[in-house]
Structure 1
Amino acid sequence: MSEARTRPVLDVRRIYAEDAALALPRGQEVLGRWPDAEVVPVASHWNIPEVHGDERNVQRWVRIKTEALVLGVKKSLLTRPNGRSADFIAPSTANGCAMACAYCYVPRRKGYSNPVTVFANIEQIAKHVARNIAKQGPKTEPNQCDTDSWVYDIGENSDCSVDAMLSDNVRDLCDLFRMSPTAKASFATKYVNRDLLDWDPMGRTRIRFSLMPHETAKVTDIRTSPIAERIAAVNDFVDAGYEVHLNFSPVILTPTWESDWAGLLDQVDDVLSAAAKAQLAAEVIFLTHNEQLHEVNLGWHPRAEDLLWRPDLQEQKFSQNGAVNVRYRSGMKGQLVERFRELVAEHLPSCRIRYAF
C-alpha cells in the first residue's frame, strides 16, 4: 500500500476523450491543464476497456486513478428528489474519484478503478439546475435538509474538492448557487482543497467533511486527506463563508469503535471555533457493503475487508436499484444508532444530528 500513500492524488498522463467533449470550451480548458497528457479518443465515457470493467485492472487500481482522466458529455440531465442529505440530487458534473476508499459504492456501478470523468457540457448542466431552482420557488416549510433553502447535492458520484482541481465545473455551480437566494449547494468531501477558500460562497454552499476515527481511516480511506487535516479545515471554511457540516460516515464496527469515536468527537470539540459550532450539524451513516465490492477489494486491499466484511454482524439488504448489499443486522443496528447519538450528545454537544441510519 506504500504507493497509495506516497503518489500524488493526480498526475494525469492519459485523457480518454469523447469528440463531443473536446468540441466544448470546458473540454479544451481541461486539456490545457494537462498539456503533456496523451489524448486517447473514445466513443463513450461509460465504456473504456482499459479503465472500466476489466478485472485485471484491480492490480492497477491506484495507478489508473492517478494517471487517467476521462472527458465526456453528460447526456441525461435529471434532478432527483432525495430528502436525506439534500432535497434534490443535481446532475453530476463528474463521475468517479481519484481517491480509493475501500467502501466506495461507485466501483460497483461503473467498473474497476473508475477514475474521474469530467463532463464538459457544464453550461447545459448549470442551465438545467437553474431552471429547477426557479421551478421550486421559495422553501416554505423547514425539513431535515435545511430550514429555509432548497438543498442540492452536486457531488453524488464524485468528490467535488478533487473535481475542482481538474476543471471549473464545481466553481461554476457554486457561483450559480451563490446568486440563488432560495437554494444552496451541498457536497461531502474527504479532501481538503484550500483553493476553495477564495470562492466567497456567501453561505450558499454547504461542505460536509466526512470523518471517522483515525485508525480506521488509515485502513479504509486511501489517498484522502488525513482526518486531523479535515477537522482543522472546518474553522477556515466557516470563516471563508461556507456552511460546514460533518458526515460521520461510514460508521464501521471495530472492537474499539465506541472509544475510538469518543476520542474523535472530543478532538472535534476541542478544535472547532465557536462560530463553527454555532452552525454545526451532522449526518450519521452506518456501513453498507457489497459482495461484489468485497471480491474486488480482496484483489487490491484485503486488509480493509477484515473491517468491512463481517458476516457475523451483517445481513443482506436489497437496494432500490436491485443490488444485493449487506448492512449491520436490523435489530442490532437500531441500538447502534442510538448509542452513536449518545456519544455525540456526550462528547460533541454542539452538534445537531440531521439524520442517522
Structure 2
Amino acid sequence: MQTQRLLDIRRIYVEPEAARLPRGREILDRFPDAELVEIESHHRIPELYGDETNVARWVRIKTEALVLGIKKSLTARPNGRSADWIAPSTANGCAMACAYCYVPRRKGYSNPITVFANIDKILGYVRRHAGRQGVKPEPNQVDPSAWVYDIGENSDCSLDATISDNVLDLVRLFRDLPNAKASFATKYVNRDLLDWDPRGRTRVRFSLMPAADSKLLDIRTSSIAERIAAIDDFVAAGYEVHVNFSPVVVREGWLESWAELLDQLDAGLGPQAKAQLAAEVIFLTHNDRLHEVNLGWHPKAEDVLWQPELQQPKRSQTGGWNVRYKTGHKGRYVAALTELIEAKLPYCRIRYAF
C-alpha cells in the first residue's frame, strides 16, 4: 500500500513548543504546504476530538490531519503480555482505520496521527529505565533474556516511520542496549525499515487474520498476503519477527477460515523465519461507544463485531461497556484455535492466548 494513499497532510495542529524542537521542525519541513494551526494542547482540539459530526469524515480526517505535540508524562508501565513494559509513546493515533481499534474510544470521534517532538527526552527516559532493570533474572513468556519494551501501544510504528525518524531513533537505541528489546505490532509493510540494521534487538509483530475478515475490518492496511510475504525479508534484515493472530472474530465458518490462513502462513515462510516464530492469540474485545461510531461510517463491520448473543458486557475503565465473548464459550474458542495452530504450525510457540 502506498503511503500517499494513506496520508495527504493538509493541516497540522501544532503545539508551539513542539514546533521549536529539532524533530518538530523536521516534521514541519516534510509537509511545507500544510496549513498550520496553533494549539495549546494535543489533547484538546475540539474540531477533532469529541465531535460526533466527524464520524462522516472519519477517514478524511485521518488522511489530511496531523497533530504535533509534546509528550509530557514519561512513564514505563508494566505489561506482561506483549512486552514486559509499555514504553512512553512517541506517537498515538493512526491513518489506518481498523474497525475494532480501541484508540478512538479514548480520543473521541477521530484519531489522526499525533507525533511527539521531544524524542530526545523519551529516548533518555527509556535508556535510564532499561539501565535500572539490570539483567533479567529469569525467562518469561515475553522473552527468555531481554526486557521487552512495546514502543507502539497506541499507534502503528511502521506508518509512523513515514512521518518522522522517531521510530528509527528507538530502533537505534535498543540496538545498543544489552539487556532490552523493542517490540511493536503492525498492519503496514514499510520496507524502508529493512535498511535499519536492528541486530535482533527489535521484534516486529505482524498482525494477521483471515483475508476475508481483514478486507472487512482492517481498513486501509497492507493486505494479509503482503504482510506474510514481508516476514522472511524482515528476519533476513535482522528483526525478530512474531505474529499476532488478532483480533480473532467468531462468526460462521471462522475456524475454517483460520485453517486457510495458517496454511498460507506456513507456505510463505522460510526455515529461518520458522525457527524463530512465536505468536500471540487475542480474541476480539469490542466497545459500545466504538460500535456507535462504526455505525456512522462502516456499519457492515458491526455485523460481525457486535454479536450480543455471543458476547457479555463489562464496564470499562473509561465508563463505557466493553463486550467480549461469553465465559465458557470463549474458553472453547481459544482451545479450538490454539489446537489448530499447534497442528498447522508445530514450530510456532504460542506465547499467550486469551
Q: Please, what TM-score do these two structures have when normalized by structure 1?
A: 0.97
Which amino acid counterpart does residue 50 of structure 1 have in structure 2?
E
TM-superposed deviation, 1:356: 0.2
Distance 2:268 2:98 in 1: 25
Aligned position for 2:303: 306
Which amino acid counterpart does residue 143 of structure 2 have in structure 1?
D
How much identity, in percent, do the aligned residues show?
Answer: 69
- Residues 158-177 of structure 1, C-alpha deviation per residue, up to 9 Å, x if partnerless? 00000000100011111000
Aligned position for 2:199: 202
Distance 2:139 2:53 in 1: 49
Taking the TM superposition and a 5 Å limit, the aligned residue runs for 1:33-112 are 33-112=30-109
Partner residue of 2:253 out of 253, 256, 265 = 256
Aligned position for 1:154: 151
Which amino acid counterpart does residue 329 of structure 2 have in structure 1?
M
Aligned position for 2:140: 143
Aligned position for 1:215: 212
Distance 1:230 1:317 in 2: 33
Which amino acid counterpart does residue 269 of structure 1 have in structure 2?
D
- Residues 108-143 of structure 1, C-alpha deviation per residue, up to 9 Å, x if partnerless? 001112100000000000000000000000112000
Distance 1:323 1:141 in 2: 38
3-state DSSP class of the match of 1:330?
coil
The answer (yes or no) to whether the contact 1:89–1:154 under 8 Å persists in 2 is yes
Aligned position for 2:273: 276
TM-superposed deviation, 1:318: 3.3
TM-superposed deviation, 1:349: 1.5
The answer (yes or no) to whether the contact 1:5–1:223 under 8 Å persists in 2 is no
Taking the TM superposition and a 5 Å limit, the aligned residue runs for 1:185-200 are 185-200=182-197
- Residues 158-213 of structure 1, C-alpha deviation per residue, up to 9 Å, x if partnerless? 00000000100011111000001100000000000000000000000000000000
The answer (yes or no) to whether the contact 2:194–2:234 under 8 Å persists in 1 is yes
Aligned position for 1:236: 233
Q: Please, what TM-score do these two structures have when normalized by structure 2?
A: 0.98
TM-superposed deviation, 1:317: 2.1
3-state DSSP class of the match of 1:207?
strand
The answer (yes or no) to whether the contact 1:92–1:154 under 8 Å persists in 2 is yes
The answer (yes or no) to whether the contact 2:3–2:162 under 8 Å persists in 1 is no
Which amino acid counterpart does residue 296 of structure 2 have in structure 1?
G
Please state if 1:336 is matched with 2:320.
no
**Equivalences, count:** 354
Distance 1:5 1:38 in 2: 23
TM-superposed deviation, 1:333: 0.4
Q: 1:56 to 1:142 in 2, by over 3 A?
A: same
Aligned position for 2:175: 178
Which amino acid counterpart does residue 255 of structure 2 have in structure 1?
E
- The farther-off stretch of 339-348 and 304-313 is 339-348
User: Structure 2 regions of 5+ residues with no counterpart?
Assistant: none
The answer (yes or no) to whether the contact 2:288–2:320 under 8 Å persists in 1 is no
TM-superposed deviation, 1:15: 0.5
Partner residue of 2:322 out of 321, 325, 348 = 325
Distance 2:4 2:177 in 1: 39
Distance 2:345 2:330 in 1: 22
Please state if 1:285 is matched with 2:282.
yes
Distance 1:310 1:168 in 2: 41
TM-superposed deviation, 1:332: 0.4
The answer (yes or no) to whether the contact 1:149–1:184 under 8 Å persists in 2 is yes
TM-superposed deviation, 1:322: 5.2
Q: 1:322 to 1:151 in 2, by over 3 A?
A: farther
The answer (yes or no) to whether the contact 2:251–2:304 under 8 Å persists in 1 is yes
TM-superposed deviation, 1:347: 1.3
Distance 2:28 2:257 in 1: 44
Which amino acid counterpart does residue 10 of structure 2 have in structure 1?
R
